[in-house]
Amino acid sequence: MPSQDPKLTSPSALRNRGPIADLLRHVLPDSGTVLEIASGSGEHVIHFASLFPHLVWQPSDPSPQARASTLHWVQAEALGNVLPPLDIDASSQTWPIERADAMIAINMVHISPWPATQGLLKAAGKLLPAGGILVLYGPYRRQGRPLEPSNAEFDASLRARNPEWGIRLLEDVARAAEPAGLAMTSVTEMPANNLGVVFTRQ
Ligand SMILES: C[S@@+](CC[C@H](N)C(=O)[O-])C[C@H]1O[C@@H](n2cnc3c(N)ncnc32)[C@H](O)[C@@H]1O
């Protein structure tokens, strides 16, 4: 039987990685390690690692398939600035890493239970230095505004798949970040009704 290619591919990752890179360009540090939570296929991290070669990239995902895919993409692209993916469940109390100079999480907050977002924010507060940034990308609700029709449909489909999933209220995420010492410092409108949200460690 022919063996299956372990490299996964995500059409949305290929569409949004350019606009996300444009946002990252303005906020990433000049040096250090960027920890990615929920790396998925690994196509974001290989793209960012080639665009920002002065940084070391640390992918992670709780899914063994995602980690295998990421590892194979890194090997296929022969990138020297990407570390082997870590097994990190954002809701876990213990993370196998002690510091990061920046963190990113793309399309995770709405496709995981709320404790994963709480865990991500708490860990960012511990791992990041003062001035370090956490960038979240994905769809969000905004206080006092109806969801765009495409996001309302997406939200219903997420909740049908798992009642613990769903598009979060951005103000709830910002409030949950405060005790971790993270302030929401910018919100950027991104294509397809997504937001790029930057938190800065105070
Ligand atoms: C929609 S995919 C996004 C993958 C990738 N970031 C992208 O945008 O293509 C959601 C990812 O979140 C990961 N995930 C789900 N629950 C998680 C958790 N509790 N902690 C960390 N990652 C989680 C999944 O394994 C999956 O890879």
Query: 113-147, pLDDT tens digit by residue?
Result: 999 999 999 999 999 999 999 999 999 999 999 99
Percent of the chain with pLDDT over 90: 98
Residue 103 has pLDDT above 90, yes or no: yes
| Euclidean distance between CA atoms 16 and 190, whole angstroms | 9
Mean pLDDT across 85-112: 98
Q: For the beta carbon of residue 33, count every other beta carbon within 10 angstroms.
A: 18
Q: Please, what's the largest Cα pairwise distance for the chain?
A: 55
Q: Which pTM value belongs to this model?
A: 0.98
Q: According to the model, what pLDDT value does residue 189 have? A: 98
Ligand 1 pocket test, candidate residues 7, 45, 108, most atoms within 8 A of CB: 108
| Euclidean distance between CA atoms 125 and 134, whole angstroms | 9
Q: According to the model, what pLDDT value does residue 4 have? A: 87
C-alpha distances out from residue 85 to 62, 78, 106, 153, 199, Å: 10, 15, 16, 33, 23
Give the Å distance between the CA of 110 and the centre of ligand 1: 9
Q: What are phi and psi of 82, to 5 degrees?
A: -125, 125
Residues with CB under 6 A from ligand 1: 10, 13, 37-41, 44, 61-63, 66, 89-91, 106-108, 111-112, 116
Q: What's the CATH architecture for 11-201?
A: 3-Layer(aba) Sandwich (3.40)
What is the chain's mean pLDDT, rounded? 97
Percent of the chain with pLDDT over 70: 99
pLDDT confidence bin for 2, thresholds 50/70/90:
low
The conformation of residue 86, written as its DSSP 8-state character, comes to B
Q: According to the model, what pLDDT value does residue 110 have? A: 98
Query: Could you identify the atom of ligand 1 that is nearest to the CA of residue 13?
Result: 9
Mean pLDDT across 168-192: 98
Residue 192 has pLDDT above 60, yes or no: yes
Q: According to the model, what pLDDT value does residue 143 have? A: 96
CB 90 within 8 A of CB 125: no
Domain regions of the chain by residue span: 11-201
Give the Å distance between the CA of 61 and the centre of ligand 1: 6
Mean pLDDT across 9-32: 98
